[in-house]
Structure 1
Amino acid sequence: MRTAATRRPRVSSADLILMADRIRTMAGEGAPTAIAVAGGVITALGDRADARDWRGPGTEVVDLGAATITPGLVDGHFHPVLGVGLTRGVDLSSVRTVEGLTAALRAAGRKPGGWLEGWGLDPNAFEGAPITHAPLVEALGPDVPVFLLLFDAHAALVSPRALELAGIGGPREFASGASVVCDADRRPTGHLLELEALDLVRVLLPRDAPADRRARLADLLRRMAACGLTAANAMDFEDDSLDLFRALEDDGDLPVRWRFAPFVMPGSGRDGLDAVIAQQRLAGRRWRVEGAKFMIDGTIDGGTAWLDEPDTHGESTACFWPDPGEYTAAVTVLNRHGVPVVTHAIGDAGIRYVLDTYAGLPRTSAVPHRVEHLETMPTELVGRFAELDVTAGMQPTHCTGHLRADHRDNWSTRLGKSRADRAFRARDLRDQGARLALGSDWPIAPFDPREIIAAARLRRPPGAAGVEPVLPGQALTARMALEGYTTEAAAAAGLAGTSGRLLPGYRADLAAFGLDPLTAGPDEFAESPVLLTVVDGRIAHSPTGGR
């Protein structure tokens, strides 16, 4: 039935008409069952009867029946190009014990003279024991060079042969909080923490051929669209990102829109900042550089976060920037040039310092600054996000995939109960008026938004009803979780007036699901079929093929 809110006057013929039993506009008005698109924007909403007035000789009409159409989903934190390089070799994300690690490496097989790589290893597999290369030697012997990236990509485990090839025979000094972990006799254990230490070995790894990287990136984007994603925020723009995305657009339109924020690392200096400012002019048809990415600390699991008080190992007490004032100075320069800033901040001291820095900046961009991860945070900081109009970015599966309700995981034991009890405070942020964008941080965690939306509601992995939720009081409602991928994501990008809702004049980025994300149970929605994904008014994914 047409309503005053949804009925539209006759419009010129549509390029595409979609019909479904439910269309969630996220605008709080009407109950349309048909939507018209022309020129990449939504031109009309109404019911199935209205659709007759929108048709022209070239209109494509798709009736999805009992499906639910929502705005296209936007991942708030992604590493597409970096991730293509990090997800090489053996996928270790399902390894739960040292014995399982040994078995996985044996199954991968020895490669004399070549490197064995792996990724996604959870430190919880060591069950609180020191992380050393002993399982690597047991599985493969001492002569195979091995590089295994831990799940957070801030740490690695390497074999004795890899240490030898890199010339690492003892502790090293780094400008940042990186370290080569050594035993009591100052012998490296194989555990490397943070980027400077990882790069000592990573520079020795064989490089992928450009054609292979391009093919893997193209496949990644197709798989993202197949999950209902229409856009994502890339938190880096390094290496060959520009070449890869230009090459993909030479072949046709991207199935996912992208916003890139190049890294700014300690020691970048004014030349590095000027380069990031210059990159803000780069754009393609469905991608653009808009922002800059900083890190104020590392990770709690690796002991490199920045906490007000040391963790139970006596670690996590330092800023990622040797002089935090240089971070503030760099952010100030970029803000003066209208560049929105994203900062990785995991520990309470890091979050506080970033918010204090943002508080001293005048607003120079339509895109608000943001803070990512926010893993442990005292109550006095929660309200500052709304007060300062700073976006909070959070990845729910970082919590549900690696934390346990009984605090017997590595993350929680490092923090102790009081700090672990304030983990991933998603609901508190929303209840206090903060803008909360959700995402995956792929390849740190899988990117399927259906599973992440479910995890945000459940505070446990979807499909694991027997697992006790982690701080269930921090669960989001179904609408809040969907907003984290739609309206909140659009506002975080300064696009609240053109994206994130299904209204005339808004971008025609849509997703269609077999189940309604607002009424289906979260476990069920995590497995909902994706029936259609539309970007810029064109079908980017359909199980039966699309244009």
Structure 2
Amino acid sequence: MKTQADIILHNGKIYTVDNAFSIVEAVVIKDGLFLDLGSDMEMLSKYEGELIDLQGRSAYPGFIDPHCHFIVYGRSFSQIDLNGCKSMDDLLTRVEKYAKENPKGWLLGRGWDQNLWPDKAFPDNKILNELFPNQPVFLKRIDGHAALANRKALEIAGVDENTIVDGGEVHLINGEMTGLLIDNALYLVDEHVTHSAEDNKKAIIEGQKRMFQYGITSIGDAWVEFEDFNLFRSMHESGDLLLRIYCMLLPKEDNKNYFTSKGIVQTDKLYAGAFKYFIDGALGSRGAALLEDYEDDPGNDGLLMDSVDYFKNEAEWNLKNGFQMNCHAIGDRANRIILQIYSEVLKEGNDDRWRVEHAQIVHPDDLDVFEKYNVIPSIQTTHATSDMYWVNERIGDRVKNAYSYKTLLGKAGIVANGSDFPIEKANPLLGFNAAVTRKDVKGFPENGFRPEERLNREEALKAMTIWSAYAQFEEDKKGSIEKGKFADLVVTDSDIMTCDEMDIYKTKVTLTILAGEKVFIDGQLSL
């Protein structure tokens, strides 16, 4: 007599990503977990249930994006899309079009990148001031580390020519504001932009639908306020939250007080036990903290978002209270500072799994800290293929120490690969492509950008599954297809492990299963 199961997927090429990197034909799901796996003959003879014939297609563990900005991403679909703007005129056209449909309230947008414009110069707010004298405009750069605000928005925030911000800059030319705000300065305006709980809920629902289209079943939100955590929790309790979310908590008093009192929160859908810090800014806005000046901006070596003493004290606080510490570090000075702090606070061979988010430019002298103190590089391979067109202008020869993902893997033993969406596109197969080819989707450059830093396909798949699960303290629950683990699985129309490298980014997800439920089927959401 056969054992009853919920779903049996068979006739497939299923990459389990277990320790042996086994490949099987069939997998059995029951009660939201993987019950069994093996050959078609064995599984079909032992179990009965709904049969899904994969028709030879490949399947993998549900993809994990360990570093993104999930609520921000969800909100972006109701704001002005400035991604791919080719000029300031293009930006203004998009803002004016949106304003005609939204004549009241804040005009919010994100995605502009002056590096794509003919002169590559930062924009100013002169025309925005003329077009919208009574309506606040706030437009974030693609990386979220710079923003353009019109005069009305600056007035609301109380920002003027005399405003000084630690870890940020109110940009002036000839003593007058241009509207450009760098790093901590943009929060002066941002705190006046409010989002209702209902709007945030809509953003989460929209965001998770899109995740399932990409085969993503777990994410790490790298910007979680206390109110965000509470919304995630309430949606989990109501059944509206299907996606698995690992929270990187902002180190504000409400978060710190609550989690110090309650401890780490872990359910089947939520993990909250990590605090997120920004050591520096970003390369695109020249806020990343460098050991030497920017090649294209002499006298500027970037910004630290707070003092070294502050970060050291926070590291000691996190260790004392049993929290994971995840630090955004782009420039080689920022990476040196936080790696030095980690080496002073952590014990060798620890299992605290502290992370460096981005680890974008790391001086060779600092690499051993990853190995000695079990520090996890949380990387975004598409940053390499997005930045490669202009990064040499920014940092010159230091590019030899940048986006060194194979080197980081060699030191740390693992890398967790995410997208940082909405800074990059959310599709994880673009990150897989960037990891293994070091090229953009057009195949540029011919030999790859710093090709010696390529990951092989097995490493690239692990980086978006089991290694990312490990970086979230959940490798015993997700990240591979094994008995007893969450039944999170994705099927694609071609095999990313064997197809021609130029076909990787063209691959489409045909089925996403989360906790044994079909949440995406051939372009039709099933929620």
On whether the aligned pair clears a TM of 0.5, the verdict is: yes
Q: After TM superposition, give the deviation of residue 433 of structure 1 in Å.
A: 4.6
Q: Does 1:15 align with 2:2?
A: no
In structure 1, the residue matched to 2:188 is 200
Q: After TM superposition, give the deviation of residue 285 of structure 1 in Å.
A: 4.1
| Residues 193 and 67 of structure 1: CA distance in aligned 2, closer, same or farther (over 3 Å) | same
- Which deviates more from structure 2 when the two are superposed, residues 146-155 or residues 276-285? 276-285
Q: Does 1:74 align with 2:58?
A: no
Q: After TM superposition, give the deviation of residue 284 of structure 1 in Å.
A: 4.6
In structure 2, the residue matched to 1:226 is 213
Structure 1: 5+ residue stretches without partners:
1-9
Choose which of 90, 108, 114 in structure 2 pairs with 1:117: 108
Deviations 1:468-490, CA, capped at 9 Å, x for gaps? 54322222222221111012112
SS in 2 for 1:442: coil
In structure 2, the residue matched to 1:178 is 168
The answer to whether the 8 Å contact 1:80/1:217 transfers is yes
2 CA distance for matches of 1:490 and 1:259? 10
Q: Which amino acid aligns with 1:401?
A: S
| Residues 74 and 215 of structure 1: CA distance in aligned 2, closer, same or farther (over 3 Å) | same
1 CA distance for matches of 2:407 and 2:495? 25
Deviations 1:304-327, CA, capped at 9 Å, x for gaps? 222212224222354221x31121
| Residues 187 and 366 of structure 1: CA distance in aligned 2, closer, same or farther (over 3 Å) | same
Give the share of equivalent positions with the same residue, in percent: 25
Q: After TM superposition, give the deviation of residue 217 of structure 1 in Å.
A: 1.1
2 CA distance for matches of 1:377 and 1:393? 13
2 CA distance for matches of 1:506 and 1:385? 29
Q: Which amino acid aligns with 1:75?
A: D
In structure 2, the residue matched to 1:4 is none
Q: Does 1:384 align with 2:377?
A: no
Q: After TM superposition, give the deviation of residue 78 of structure 1 in Å.
A: 1.6
Choose which of 431, 434, 444 in structure 1 pairs with 2:423: 444
Choose which of 335, 339, 344 in structure 1 pairs with 2:323: 339
2 CA distance for matches of 1:243 and 1:272? 10
Q: After TM superposition, give the deviation of residue 239 of structure 1 in Å.
A: 5.1
In structure 1, the residue matched to 2:443 is 465
Q: Does 1:259 align with 2:259?
A: no
In structure 2, the residue matched to 1:528 is 507
Q: Which amino acid aligns with 1:255?
A: L
Q: After TM superposition, give the deviation of residue 208 of structure 1 in Å.
A: 3.9
SS in 2 for 1:136: helix
In structure 1, the residue matched to 2:137 is 146
In structure 2, the residue matched to 1:7 is none
Structure 2: 5+ residue stretches without partners:
none
Q: After TM superposition, give the deviation of residue 229 of structure 1 in Å.
A: 0.8
Q: Does 1:215 align with 2:195?
A: no
2 CA distance for matches of 1:279 and 1:87? 34
In structure 2, the residue matched to 1:244 is 231
Q: After TM superposition, give the deviation of residue 525 of structure 1 in Å.
A: 2.5
2 CA distance for matches of 1:492 and 1:239? 22
Q: Which amino acid aligns with 1:62?
A: I
Q: Which amino acid aligns with 1:42?
A: F
Choose which of 38, 42, 53 in structure 2 pairs with 1:46: 38
Choose which of 274, 277, 287 in structure 2 pairs with 1:291: 274
CA RMSD in angstroms, aligned pairs only:
2.6
In structure 1, the residue matched to 2:338 is 354
The answer to whether the 8 Å contact 1:22/1:32 transfers is yes
| Residues 388 and 460 of structure 1: CA distance in aligned 2, closer, same or farther (over 3 Å) | same
Q: Does 1:89 align with 2:79?
A: yes
Deviations 1:247-267, CA, capped at 9 Å, x for gaps? 4224426332111121126xx
2 CA distance for matches of 1:187 and 1:30? 63
Deviations 1:179-216, CA, capped at 9 Å, x for gaps? 110012x1101100113x213323444x3443232122
SS in 2 for 1:118: strand
2 CA distance for matches of 1:282 and 1:431? 32
1 CA distance for matches of 2:43 and 2:258? 50
Q: Which amino acid aligns with 1:491?
A: Y
Q: Which amino acid aligns with 2:57?
A: A
The answer to whether the 8 Å contact 2:265/2:271 transfers is yes
2 CA distance for matches of 1:125 and 1:66? 42
SS in 1 for 2:277: strand
The answer to whether the 8 Å contact 1:117/1:146 transfers is yes
The answer to whether the 8 Å contact 2:73/2:207 transfers is no
1 CA distance for matches of 2:111 and 2:24? 43
Total equivalences in the alignment: 519
| Residues 105 and 494 of structure 1: CA distance in aligned 2, closer, same or farther (over 3 Å) | closer
SS in 1 for 2:224: coil
2 CA distance for matches of 1:165 and 1:338? 40
In structure 2, the residue matched to 1:188 is 177
In structure 1, the residue matched to 2:393 is 413
The answer to whether the 8 Å contact 1:95/1:121 transfers is yes
2 CA distance for matches of 1:403 and 1:316? 20
2 CA distance for matches of 1:19 and 1:128? 52
Q: Which amino acid aligns with 1:54?
A: K
Q: Does 1:157 align with 2:140?
A: no
1 CA distance for matches of 2:99 and 2:313? 49
Q: Which amino acid aligns with 1:102?
A: L
Q: After TM superposition, give the deviation of residue 439 of structure 1 in Å.
A: 0.4
In structure 2, the residue matched to 1:102 is 92
The answer to whether the 8 Å contact 2:73/2:203 transfers is no
SS in 2 for 1:515: coil
SS in 1 for 2:388: coil
2 CA distance for matches of 1:169 and 1:434? 48
SS in 2 for 1:534: strand
In structure 2, the residue matched to 1:131 is 123
Q: After TM superposition, give the deviation of residue 362 of structure 1 in Å.
A: 3.4
Q: Which amino acid aligns with 1:163?
A: L
1 CA distance for matches of 2:349 and 2:75? 35
Deviations 1:391-418, CA, capped at 9 Å, x for gaps? 10111122212331xxxx2x44232x11
Deviations 1:514-542, CA, capped at 9 Å, x for gaps? 11121113432222221222222332322
Q: After TM superposition, give the deviation of residue 370 of structure 1 in Å.
A: 0.6
- Which deviates more from structure 2 when the two are superposed, residues 429-438 or residues 222-231? 429-438
2 CA distance for matches of 1:403 and 1:286? 36
| Residues 493 and 332 of structure 1: CA distance in aligned 2, closer, same or farther (over 3 Å) | same
SS in 1 for 2:24: coil
Deviations 1:318-338, CA, capped at 9 Å, x for gaps? 4221x3112111111211221
1 CA distance for matches of 2:35 and 2:73? 37
Q: Which amino acid aligns with 2:34?
A: I
| Residues 29 and 450 of structure 1: CA distance in aligned 2, closer, same or farther (over 3 Å) | closer
SS in 1 for 2:336: helix
